[in-house]
């Protein structure tokens, strides 16, 4: 039953009427009164003859006078009430309108379901779909595409940093350093003349290091440390996944369906790489890398923080004591690597 509080002014309103219990019966003079939820019909001696539910009340002749009502709209229900009192008719019509508004509408339900479905779809599109599309793309993306994306990103990066240093002997020495410390990681290493803060990595196994890492330190352990950190960072988060997350769902879908990426997407990500500090690598994972490669972590720690305050864990837990460490490169290779940008 709908809320009838709006009709309290009509409660116990009474009016005369003509009532017949069935089609063939004679009409009787009655008194009609409105209660909380029922229409009560009594004879002139105040004996109750019928109780009609206000929720089921049906108008037989809308807009006509006197008004004819039935207890329901059922065809077999021939009970009838005639009312000529204007106030009573107004009250009953107001009741009927209030009830009619409270009934669920098929159209409203459809609209409600449609809006709910659209809202659910929008939520899924925002929360679930991007991640699902990204994971699917990563699972089917061939290595050749990852390599191509990495090379195109490198081309964008070099516009800001300058071309990678290409000293012949230095490139060979860099390759030997990578083979020594990265072992199974299939990485391509480049020394950049500027723009890269320390080191960074791109899809396709590309690792970039700043020339300062080979020019400003007396030993290759610092550069080796940065190579190990980038390799571990790339292991923990797929560089292609980071790129696709930044590129967005449209670019990801285009890469999946056509194998291509727009230049402006690459430009935006290249800028982000050069201006955003890298995510820190957990100390435990990094120390395991240093230990497996036989590289001291202390030189790398002091390169990150000259005071050692923020990298104390790497210093105190250095897995390779200085007394047991072996040179990472021959002196001639290290000299060549230090001059990679000067040749």
State both tokens at 21.
Answer: 């219990």
| pLDDT number for residue 73 | 84
pLDDT at 49 over 80: yes
Q: Are residues 328 and 188 in the same domain?
A: yes
pTM > 0.75: yes or no: no
**Average of pLDDT values for 260-282?**
92
Other Cβ atoms within 10 Å of 230 Cβ, number: 26
Separation of alpha carbons 315 and 22, rounded Å = 101
Work out how many domains the chain is built from and give that number.
3
Q: Are residues 12 and 122 in the same domain?
A: no
Burial class (CB in 10 A: 0-12, 13-18, 19+), 13: middle
pLDDT tens track for 256-269: 899 899 999 999 99
Residue 49 forms part of a structural domain = yes
| pLDDT number for residue 3 | 46
Residue 30 forms part of a structural domain = yes
State both tokens at 77.
Answer: 């229900």
Q: Are residues 218 and 283 in the same domain?
A: yes
CATH code of the domain covering residue 45: 2.30.29.30
Separation of alpha carbons 118 and 49, rounded Å = 53
Separation of alpha carbons 297 and 308, rounded Å = 12
| pLDDT number for residue 270 | 93
Q: Are residues 147 and 77 in the same domain?
A: no
Burial class (CB in 10 A: 0-12, 13-18, 19+), 148: middle
Torsion of CA 22, 23, 29, 32, to 10 degrees: 60
- Final residue before a domain boundary, out of 55, 80, 102: 102
| 188 against 127, higher pLDDT | 188
| 15 against 130, higher pLDDT | 15
| pLDDT number for residue 98 | 79
3-class secondary structure, 68: strand
Which pLDDT band holds residue 103 (cuts at 50, 70, 90)? low
- Cα–Cα distances (Å) from 255 to 93, 145, 247, 267, in that order, read 64, 9, 10, 16
Share of the chain above pLDDT 70, in %: 88
pLDDT at 217 over 60: yes
Residue 55 forms part of a structural domain = yes
pLDDT tens track for 170-205: 999 999 999 999 987 779 999 999 999 899 999 999
3-class secondary structure, 244: helix
| pLDDT number for residue 299 | 97
Residue 336 contacts residue 169 (beta carbons within 8 Å) = yes
Contacts of 118 (CB under 8 A, 6+ apart): none
| pLDDT number for residue 216 | 95
| 224 against 69, higher pLDDT | 224
Domain extent for 119:
106-140
Separation of alpha carbons 341 and 324, rounded Å = 31
Q: Are residues 116 and 149 in the same domain?
A: no
| 299 against 91, higher pLDDT | 299
Residue 343 forms part of a structural domain = no
Q: Are residues 187 and 244 in the same domain?
A: yes
Contacts of 90 (CB under 8 A, 6+ apart): none
């Amino acid at each position: 039953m709908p809320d009838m509080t709006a009709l309290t002014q009509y409660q116990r309103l009474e009016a005369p009427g003509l009532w017949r219990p069935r089609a063939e019966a004679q009409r009787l003079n009655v008194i009609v009164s409105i209660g909380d939820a029922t229409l009560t019909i009594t004879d002139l001696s105040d004996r109750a003859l019928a109780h009609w539910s206000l929720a089921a009340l049906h108008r037989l002749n809308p807009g006509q006078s006197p008004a004819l009502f039935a207890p329901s709209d059922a065809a077999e229900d021939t009970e009838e009430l005639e009312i000529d009192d204007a106030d009573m008719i107004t009250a009953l019509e107001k009741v009927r309108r209030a009830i009619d508004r409270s009934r669920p509408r098929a159209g409203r339900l459809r609209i409600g379901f449609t809006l709910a479905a659209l809202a659910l779809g929008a939520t899924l599109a925002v929360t679930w779909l991007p991640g699902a599309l990204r994971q699917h793309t990563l699972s089917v993306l061939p290595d050749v595409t990852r390599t191509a994306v990495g090379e195109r990103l490198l081309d964008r990066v070099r516009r800001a940093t300058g071309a990678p240093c290409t000293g012949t002997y230095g490139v060979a020495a860099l390759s030997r350093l990578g083979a020594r410390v990265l072992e199974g990681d299939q990485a391509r290493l480049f020394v950049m003349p500027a723009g890269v803060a320390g080191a960074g990595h791109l899809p396709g196994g590309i690792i970039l290091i700043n020339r300062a890492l080979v020019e400003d330190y007396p030993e290759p352990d610092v550069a080796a440390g940065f190579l190990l950190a980038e390799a571990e960072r790339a292991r923990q988060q797929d560089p292609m996944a980071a790129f696709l997350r930044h590129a967005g769902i449209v670019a990801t879908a285009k890469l999946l369906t056509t194998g291509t990426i727009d230049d402006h997407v690459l430009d935006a990500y290249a800028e982000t790489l050069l201006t955003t500090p890298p995510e820190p690598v957990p100390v435990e994972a990094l120390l395991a890398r240093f230990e497996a490669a036989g590289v001291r972590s202390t030189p790398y720690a002091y390169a990150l923080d000259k005071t050692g305050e923020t990298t104390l864990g790497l210093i105190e837990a250095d897995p390779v004591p200085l007394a047991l460490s072996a040179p990472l490169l021959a002196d001639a290779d290290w000299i060549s690597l230090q001059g990679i940008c000067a040749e």
